[in-house]
Amino acid sequence: MNTAVILAAGKGSRMKAGINKQFLILNNEPVIVHTIRAFEQCSDIDEIIIVTSPEEDEYFRANILNKYHFPKVKSLIIGGVERQQSAHNGIKAAAIDSEIILIHDGARPFVSQKTIESCICGAKLYGAASAGMPTKDTIKLADLQGIVIHTLPREQVWLTQTPQAFKKDIIQKAHEVAIEKGMAATDDAMLVELTGHKVLMVEGSYENIKITTPEDLFIGEQIIKVINK
Domain span at 84: 2-227
DSSP code for 179 = H
Average pLDDT score over residue span 184-212 = 95
Residue of 3, 4, 23, 21 lying closest to 12 (CA atoms): 21
Predicted TM-score (pTM) of this structure: 0.93
pLDDT tens by residue, 131-147: 999 999 999 999 999 99
pLDDT at 11: 63
User: In which band, very low, low, confident or very high, does the pLDDT at 224 lie, cut at 50, 70 and 90?
Assistant: confident
Number of H helices, E strands in the chain: 7, 11
Task: Report whether pLDDT(50) > 50.
Answer: yes
Could you tell me the CATH number of the domain that includes residue 184?
Answer: 3.90.550.10
pLDDT tens by residue, 100-159: 999 999 999 999 999 999 999 999 999 999 999 999 999 999 999 999 999 999 989 999
Phi, psi of 179 (to 5 degrees): -65, -45
Domains in the chain: how many in total? Answer: 1
